[in-house]
Homo-oligomer: A and B are copies of this chain.
């Protein structure tokens, strides 16, 4: 059986309180007493029981990170940084996947309220789900990514501006017919949408909406007409879907001047589809992505994309979460992380 504070106290000939004082090192303990206790601690190979501590303190020392799709390399980068930076603050990290199911997002909020985690970093998919936010008492919570709300702390980049900047870059390269890949498969307002409206499957994530908006803005500013036929629908932002959908598009349409992919992962699939079709990038068409994942720079050709300081992004999220955790009533804050366009070979001839 495992040793408890009581056992340690007995062996050291002191009270449990003193042991606790030594362990937590808050109060002053007489050096000789401290030595005796530490001796006993080592002798019994004492390990504190976190459940007990959590029950007493009301804190578990753990936070949760919830992302829509853990399989994406982008998710891996976020997970990597959150785990690394949270560890520096002495927090453990529990990982959850929402798989774009608002139900899971609900579950998470109550799990946090069950004191299993002290706080939650959530990357929500659907703006509509902010309904979640209006319900009940919330645990310390920080949203990452693109949601339009003021109830909860949030860190994000300016998706509209980033998409606009990237589109401008493509326009500056002389492109006019610029396709986007990653809009909803069932366009908003189309016949099929009514059935799904308000449901979990409502088309269009916040990110896709904002990026589409930025793309439209840039086109309008340049006086280039918006052509819905250039908006290639794709709900699951994974390479296999992108390759399929772009492959099909190529078979049925004239080749666009450029492809603006809503993530680098989509760009990867797009490059693959173009390669399969024997279309050379950047000679015959251009391709750009979004996120600047580690792999982008090693794609063939290297990918032009939207970059932001991911470490600063995550650091900000943890800062905000720390604020909320130490003061439940602190006003929600929003941090915007700057972005920039990284121009690589995929858009320069």
A residues with CB within 8 A of B: 2, 45, 47-52, 54-55, 60, 62, 69-73, 75-77, 79-80, 83-84, 87, 92-97, 110-111, 113-116, 136, 238-240, 243, 268-269, 271-272, 275, 294-295, 297-302
Contact = CB atoms under 8 A, between A and B. Distances in A.
Contacts of A271: 298, 300
B240 A116 contact: no
Centre residue among A71, A97, A110, A269 by max chain B CB count within 10 A? A71
Contacts of A114: 47-50
B94 A93 contact: yes
Contacts of A76: 70-73, 75-76, 79
B71 A116 contact: no
> How often does this chain occur in the complex, in copies?
2
A115 B51 CA distance: 7
Contact of A71 (B80, B272, B301): B80
B51 A116 contact: yes
B49 A298 contact: no
A110 to B, nearest CB: 5
Q: 4 tightest A-B contacts by CB?
A: A51-B54, A76-B76, A272-B298, A70-B80
A300 B114 CA distance: 48
A83 B96 contact: yes
A115 B49 contact: yes
A207 to B, nearest CB: 19
Centre residue among A70, A93, A97, A111 by max chain B CB count within 10 A? A70
Contacts of A45: 136
A110 B60 contact: no
Contacts of A302: 272
Nearest to A112: B47
B79 A243 contact: no
A245 to B, nearest CB: 13
A240 B297 contact: yes
29 contacts: A2-B113, A48-B114, A49-B114, A50-B60, A50-B111, A50-B114, A51-B51, A51-B116, A52-B55, A54-B55, A55-B55, A70-B76, A70-B83, A71-B76, A73-B73, A73-B295, A76-B76, A79-B95, A80-B97, A87-B97, A93-B95, A94-B94, A94-B95, A95-B95, A240-B298, A268-B298, A269-B298, A272-B300, A295-B295
A96 B72 CA distance: 18
Given A47-B114, A48-B114, A76-B73, A84 B97 contact: yes
A72 B115 CA distance: 31
Contacts of A52: 51, 55
Given A70-B76, A72-B76, A243 B298 contact: yes
Contacts of A79: 70, 76, 79, 95
A51 B71 CA distance: 30
Contact of A268 (B84, B97, B295): B295
